[in-house]
Structure 1
Amino acid sequence: MTDNRRTAGKLPRLNANMTPATRDAIAQLAATEHISHTEALRRLVALGALLHRAHNDGGHVLIRHPHTDTLDRVIPI
């Protein structure tokens, strides 16, 4: 039987190993947007999920550069 008193009303916790590049991406977003590392991770995961869904549905994600109006296609790895 699980003791639900410890988790009632709380979000699940996740401990994960990450590369320095991943850690730095989270820290950079948190610093530039003035948000917590947790919120930065949430946003980056949501963006990754969006890219994944678009790719799986046969779609393409494009980035338009504001000064040149050139487009780059994002290719998921």
Structure 2
Amino acid sequence: MEFKFNVTGARRKEIVMAISEILNTTPEYKGAPTFAYEVGCYRIDRAGMLTGVDSWELIEELSGLHDKLVSGTGALIS
């Protein structure tokens, strides 16, 4: 599965934290040279591309996050 958020910096961290809440797991920052985060079996790269195994439930949740990000309605997590 690939899901493109096209974000960096603080917005990427918001997405990482939201995904970690959905999956009930702790994110791990991988540092240089990839600067990626790993959350469970998913990876969020420095450009905001999420890759990992297919999960319809996660895709459904992420679609809502993507809509909030695109519409600019503020924080992705409360």
> Structure with the greater relative contact order (CA < 8 A, sep ≥ 6): 1 or 2?
2
Greater Cα radius of gyration, structure 1 or 2 = 1
Greater helix content: 1
Is TM > 0.5 for Structure 1 vs Structure 2? no
Q: Please give the TM-score of this superposition, normalised by the length of structure 1.
A: 0.31
